[in-house]
Amino acid sequence: MSYLYIYDNFLSAKKYQSSLYKIENRLVDLGIKGKVVRLNVLKNMNEVVEDGIKADITTVVVIGDDLSFSKIINIIAKKDLVLGIIPVNNKSKFAKILGVPPAHQACEILAQRIIKEVDLGMVGHYYFIDSATITNEETTVKFGSYNASPSSKQNIVSFNNLNVLSELNIDNKFNPTDGQLELVIQNTDVLLTKNKSTTILPFTKVSVECQQPGAFIVIDQITKLKPPTTVQIAPNKLKVIVGAQRMF
Amino acid sequence: MFKEENPAKDIKTADTVIGASVKVEGDFNSDHDIIIEGSVSGNVKTKNNLKIGKNSKVKAEISAKNAFIAGTVTGNVVVQDKLHVTSDAEIKGNITASLIMVELGAKLNGQCRITPTPEALNNNSLPKKE
């Protein structure tokens, strides 16, 4: 079993040095050290993983934040690799969902190596782990036998696998192992009656159309794609190392 | 006395919720509980419970196991077990169910048909004859 550790760009800042030393020492203690690559303007994640595959790595561990983890999803999903994450602080929502504690404490979880297969969502050919969102009142979502569309202005139309990154005002956390995604449509200016203004429709595949020419879908708060497009589930697409405190 | 035990009345959350700001058109089928607070036209069919909220507008043929209707429905309603029609409800269409409760003030425009199931006959939730 060989590990590739990818440090995201922003970790080159001095304030992360002591935290990174602790992580590196703990990995050595646990006997799971591996090749370390620090990303910079000249080295992107995709190239690093491709090089790792040539060197027979089996597990890619990303050290960073939620945006770092979301970036790696699209690279890992197409390969037969296991993903591990080490969040550098306790703000990572993905880490909480996966039951991974912050900084050097995450090394214990990596060493225990509990691997779960989780679903991913797909917008066109682009994978997402959390959600894809459109803020547009002229959106139509076409299911097999019916269509759903917001009937008033200022609606968020969100396709969810987890729902930790989106700006939706709902308590639901969706299950990323249930083989389906959830469409959530919520009126942004109705906070007091959130339950009555929130639509939740489970699906496996839909097509999305927008009447407004400038509309786009924001994927995991990183990438933007233009409709029309399809949104569908990619079941059990990602192998990820999780902790016992995971939320699914 | 009519013993109130309609599971559709007490749905607080469901896998499928059509909110007040959404319009759904077409054939809507589900195996799970459905809550409708918005507008639906076409057909609505569930093998479980259906709750239609106060301000919702449904133009559809409806089929459900149990149903609680407080909004406006245009179309026939077929319920396998229990149907509760509140005082705010307005139904333009025929209703069929094993047990029907209609609150004072509800507007019904259509035929009403009771079709008791063996389960309904065996339990004590039917009104007792004086």
Contacts with A155 (C-beta within 8 Å, 6 or more apart), sequence order: A135, A136, A137, A139, A185, A186, A187, A188, B21
pLDDT at site B1: 40
Contacts of A194 in chain B (CB under 8 A): none
What is the average per-residue pLDDT within B89-106?
Answer: 96
CATH code for the structural domain at A3-112: 3.40.50.10330
Residues of A in contact with B53 (CB under 8 A): 196
- Tokens representing A72 are 């790696």
Q: Interface of chain B against chain A, CB under 8 Å?
A: 14-29, 37-39, 42, 53
Q: Could you tell me which of B96, B120, B125 has the C-alpha nearest to residue B108?
A: B96
> Which residues belong to CATH 3.40.50.10330 in chain A?
3-112
Instruction: Calculate mean pLDDT across residues A114-133.
Output: 93
User: Per residue in A23-39, pLDDT tens?
Assistant: 999 999 999 999 999 99
As a whole number, mean pLDDT of residues A93-103 equals 90
pLDDT value at position A234? 96
* Cis check: omega of the bond before A87, within 30 degrees of 0: no
- The length of chain B in residues reads 130
Place of tokens 């969706």: A174
Give me the mean pLDDT over the A101-107 stretch: 96
**pLDDT tens column, A38-90:** 999 888 899 999 999 999 999 999 999 988 988 898 899 889 899 999 999 88
Backbone angles phi, psi at B82, to 5 degrees: -115, 135
In a mutational test of the B interface, the residue from A146, A156, A187 whose CB has the highest number of chain B CBs within 10 Å is: A146
The pLDDT tens digits of the residues spanning B37-65 come to 999 999 999 999 999 999 999 999 999 99
The most distant pair of C-alpha atoms in chain A lies apart, rounded to whole Å, by 58
C-beta of residue B122 within 8 angstroms of C-beta of residue B104: no
Which of B17, B25, B53 minimises the CB distance to A198?
A: B17
Higher-confidence position of A76 and B9 = A76
Nearest to B16 among A145, A149, A200 (CB): A200
pLDDT, mean of residues B92-103: 95
For residue A245, give the nearest of A121, A105, A67 by alpha carbon.
A105
Q: Which is more confident, A25 or A247?
A: A25
Average pLDDT in the B20-30 region? 92
Q: Measured between CB atoms, does A67 come within 8 Å of chain B? A: no
Q: B15 and A145 in contact by Cβ < 8 A?
A: no
Burial degree of B119 (CB within 10 A; 0-12, 13-18, 19+): exposed
Q: Do B20 and A187 touch (CB under 8 A)?
A: yes
The rounded distance, in Å, linking the Cα atoms of A158 and A218 is 9
User: Which residue has 């589900």 as its token pair?
Assistant: B30
Q: Give the pLDDT of residue A170.
A: 75
Q: What is the pLDDT of residue B120?
A: 54
Predicted pLDDT of residue B9: 76
Find which of A170, A184, A197, A199 to mutate to test the B interface (most B CBs within 10 Å of its CB). Answer: A199
- Work out the pLDDT band at A138, boundaries 50, 70, 90: confident
Q: Which chain A residue is nearest to residue B37, measuring alpha carbons?
A: A196
Architecture of domain A126-236: Sandwich (2.60)
Q: Any residues with CB less than 8 A from the CB of A193 and at least 6 apart, and which?
A: B20
Backbone angles phi, psi at B100, to 5 degrees: -125, 130
Q: What DSSP state is assigned to residue B89?
A: -
pLDDT at residue A106 is higher than 50:
yes
Give the pLDDT band (50/70/90) at residue A97.
Answer: confident
Q: Which own/partner contact pairs does A51-56 have at CB distance under 8 Å and 24+ positions apart?
A: A52/A4, A53/A79, A53/A81, A55/A2, A55/A4, A56/A2
Residues with Cβ < 8 Å from A207, sequence gap 6 or more? A141, A142, A228, A229, A230, A231
The burial of A186, by beta-carbon neighbours within 10 Å (0-12 exposed, 13-18 middle, 19 or more buried), is given as buried
Residue A49 confidence (pLDDT): 95
Percentage of the residues of chain A whose pLDDT score is greater than 70: 94
Q: Where in chain A is the domain with CATH 2.60.200.40?
A: 126-236
Strand order in the sheet with B16-18: A223-225, A217-219, A131-135, A155-160, A181-187, A198-203, B16-18, B34-36, B49-52, B66-69, B82-85, B99-102
B75 contacts B58 by C-beta, under 8 angstroms = yes
Predicted pLDDT of residue B123: 63
Instruction: Say whether B21 and A155 touch across the interface (CB within 8 A).
Output: yes
Q: Residue B82 and residue A62: Cα distance in Å, rounded?
A: 54
